[in-house]
Amino acid sequence: MNLPRATLDHVLCTQLLVAWAGESGEERRLGWWNSDLTSEFGGEDLFQRLLPLTWRWATLQGAREAARRVDAEQRARSHDADTLVTLFRFGFAVDERLDEHLRDLKNSGAAPTEALPGLKVLLDQPWDSSAFERWVATRGSVDAVATPAGRRIKSPPTAIDHLADRFVAALLPLGPTWPLPHVVR
């Protein structure tokens, strides 16, 4: 699938920020997934020793994978799991393209905040739930309804980057578990 680089950057940046914010562990954030990969004494220490050139990418990629797994577990509970599109599952072609783009960015040698400047808004400072909520609010408002599967977005946009923004907007109000913002295709 041919997606513009700006779209890939936007969606990947969004996924990485939500994945980072959703971690639990020593530096507890939202606690949506049981991972502690991006904290100094969690995954960072290990990845710095194992992957001295790409450890920053590895910690974010690990948090993203933890988020994808929780997202997949929640989707699997739905009777129409294969029709749900979420921030961490846009469909095979888009997901593959995002994975390729992440690999390209890692191989570029640039730090995550250099390659994806949008990460700086949250990653360049200590965790602050209010700052995260403000960032979420910048994604606009969304009309969503609570369903057994999660928060279903009504009238979703077709553009992938705009859809990613709606998924983020649907995170509010923040809760103790991943709210699975989704659309049905």
Provide DSSP, 97-151.
HHHHHHHHHHHT---HHHH-GGGHHHHTS---HHHHHHHHHTT----EEE-SSSE
Identity of residue 132: F
Task: Report the residue count for the chain.
Answer: 185
pLDDT tens, 82-117? 999 999 999 999 999 999 999 999 999 999 999 999
pLDDT of 95 reads 98
Mean of pLDDT over the chain: 93
pLDDT of 3 > 80? The answer is: yes
